[in-house]
Structure 1
Amino acid sequence: MGGASGDQVSRDFLAALNVGDVCHGTATEVTRSHGVVVTLDGFPALPLGMVGPLDVSWRQSPSAAVQAGQRITAEVDAVDQEEGRARMSMAATENPELWGFLASLQRGEILSGTVAAIERFGVFVKLDDGPDHPVYPGVGFITIPELSWRRFEAASDVVQVGQRLSCEFLQFDTWNGEARLSLRAT
């Protein structure tokens, strides 16, 4: 398939994709730096799907998670008509319960949970209504600036492991698969 008519057919195919769609296809190329190039079912003429290296799996490197020729399932993160690609995430399909929960949250919603771990970069919160996270100790995460309006030296000056919290939901972090929260907003 070549020329202008082929370009239009691929644009039409991409235009039919929506963010959040789950697609199937075949990995045509796997690289450490670029991730996985995918020929999507319904458009075998050329690979229109791209899974970035950090979107392949939460548990494995791209080369360990998928091989060229392997069938894959991935969720559409974005469609770039100019580039002629659908950016996709295989990690999003590893744990559909988690992604479904995170996608259902609304900005400003108040969520309750328990402090699961305190790190130098923030606080993990196990949310009452949320599923377990496959990698982190909690689905909720509070960055250091969102802990308090007061000045403090360490996150443990504000919260303790096991402490119950109510926090405001700020955004769904698709990179880490977590709910970004604000304690200071409440």
Structure 2
Amino acid sequence: MPGLNEHDITFLRGLQRGQTITGIVTEIAAFGVTFVDIGGFTAMINIPELSWRPIRHPGDVVAVGEAITAQILDIDLGRGRVSLSLKAPQPDPLIDLRRQIGSVVAGPVTKLVPFGAFLRVEDRPDGLEGLIHKAALAGRSIHVGDVLDVRLVGVDVARRRIDLAPVQDQRADP
């Protein structure tokens, strides 16, 4: 095992996938990987494992020196690597949102794309976003920042997608 001393090997063999472990964030690399000291051994968290919510930079979620609790995703004895997930021990907000299918929510349009518009369905800066398909907009003129009332019509947890439909009696641009 390259570059590993006996202490590291013993430590790694004592870990298990799925185990919850605590550590201290030691570095946030320019390419986005977060490094964590887990008892004298450095583990890493890739960007997709930092949060269930959209993030721009790992520093939005963790800070150097911060104590964190994460779940072990993988232990690679051959390469001397431990991969962690900060989001795995947390509840997935899409599961709660799925229970709200059929309800009406209001939120701002965050992005216009050729196939529709994205709208934030939670009242928080890192809130989840759903898609209103172009066909459902029926030629309505909407702009980024417009606040719309929409019906939550579908939540696909596995594909990380939220489908929305505009409430019929609403006009974004009179």
Instruction: Please state if 1:2 is matched with 2:2.
Output: no
Pair 8,16 (structure 1): closer, same or farther in 2 beyond 3 Å: farther
Residue 50 (structure 1) aligned with residue 44 (structure 2):
yes
Q: How many Å apart are 1:107 and its aligned residue?
A: 6.2
For 2:98 and 2:61, the matched residues in 1 are separated by: 36
Q: Tell me the TM-score normalised to structure 2 length.
A: 0.57
Which residue of the partner structure matches residue 88 of structure 1?
85
Residue of structure 2 aligned with 1:124, choices 113, 119, 122: 119
1:10 aligns to what SS in structure 2? Answer: helix
**Structure 2 equivalent of residue 31 of structure 1:** 29
Instruction: Please tell me whether the aligned partners of residues 120 and 155 of structure 1 are also in contact (alpha carbons under 8 angstroms).
Output: no
Larger radius of gyration: 2
Does the 8 Å CA contact 1:26/1:38 hold for their aligned counterparts?
Answer: yes
Q: 1:110 and 1:73 mapped to 2: Cα distance?
A: 33
Matched residue SS, 1:166: strand
Number of residue pairs matched? 150
Q: Structure 1: any 5+ residue segments left out of the alignment?
A: 174-178
- Sort the Cα spacing of 1:8 and 1:142 in 2 relative to 1 into closer, same or farther, 3 A: same
Q: Which of the numbers 161, 169, 177 marks the counterpart of 2:155? A: 169
Match of 1:182 among 157, 163, 168: 163
Alignment counterpart, residue 102 of structure 1, candidates 75, 89, 93: 93
| % identical aligned pairs | 12
Question: Partners of 1:33 and 1:8 in 2: how far apart?
Answer: 30
Of 88, 103, 108 in structure 2, the residue corresponding to residue 112 of structure 1 is: 103
Q: CA RMSD in A?
A: 4.4
